[in-house]
Amino acid sequence: MGHLFLVRHATTAASESGVNLGQRTDAPLLPAGRERAAMTGSAIRAELAAISVGDLRLLTSPARRCRETAEIVGDALGRPDLEPEADPRLWEIDYGAWEGLSADECRARDPELRAAWEADPYATRTPGGESGSDVAARAFAALAPLEAWLAGDRGTAAIVVSHNHVVRLRIAAQLGLPLADYRRRVTADPGGYSMITIGPGGSAVRRLNVLPGPIPA
């Protein structure tokens, strides 16, 4: 039995302002995002200590915001030997022509398509971009061998730093929710993490979108 931590990258200017940040802009973390990533790393370190983990892996999307989050989380774990493994299948959804736009701007630009996407983002592609189904096909393929490894042995854990849509889709699938509802039923805040226990008999979501606060002095 092992443990999977799904982490959304910490705060960027786009996540603060509410505009789409997909694959076409490689933004860094804000200073507040770096602080958030450190708090998340410290919280995960406490989780790992409580479950006595031996073998540990750290995976990340190649996006700068994820790589920075993963590096900060790794530092907070006190594991300088832990090298983040980048996998391009963990990239955020490609928003296409909606990159850099707010929800209201998307509705003004493509009212019918936006309405269809909001009703079922799993089946509906963004203009010139991807659907949730496209994201799930590649991201789940990246996560499947990792989850099989976690199911095989006690004392294993993996931390995966990725994006809003990747995290919400995987959590929705783990919870058995209709994937058409993944945006409505699951939340993934910047810097938040969810924890899933995975064993030979199946999996269970143990934590959902935990957003650690400042650590008392």
Listed by start position, the domains of the chain span 2-210
Q: What pLDDT does 54 receive?
A: 85
Best CATH choice for the domain 2-210 from the list 3.40.50.1240, 3.90.1150.10, 3.40.50.2000, 3.30.365.10:
3.40.50.1240
**What's the token pair of residue 16?**
């603060």
Cα(175)–Cα(147) distance, integer angstroms: 15
Tell me the pTM.
0.96
Res. 57: pLDDT tops 70: yes
The stretch 161-184 carries a mean pLDDT of 98
Instruction: From residue 130, give the alpha-carbon distance in Å to each of 91, 164, 171.
Output: 11, 14, 19
Q: Are 210 and 193 in contact (CB under 8 A)?
A: yes
Query: For the chain, what is the mean pLDDT?
Result: 95
The answer on pLDDT for 158 being more than 50 is yes
| Cα(5)–Cα(3) distance, integer angstroms | 7
Q: What is the pLDDT of residue 1?
A: 87
pLDDT value at 37 more than 60: yes
Give me the pLDDT at residue 217, please: 44
Q: What is the predicted pLDDT for the residue at 49?
A: 93
Is residue 213 over pLDDT 90?
no
| Per-residue pLDDT at 79 | 84
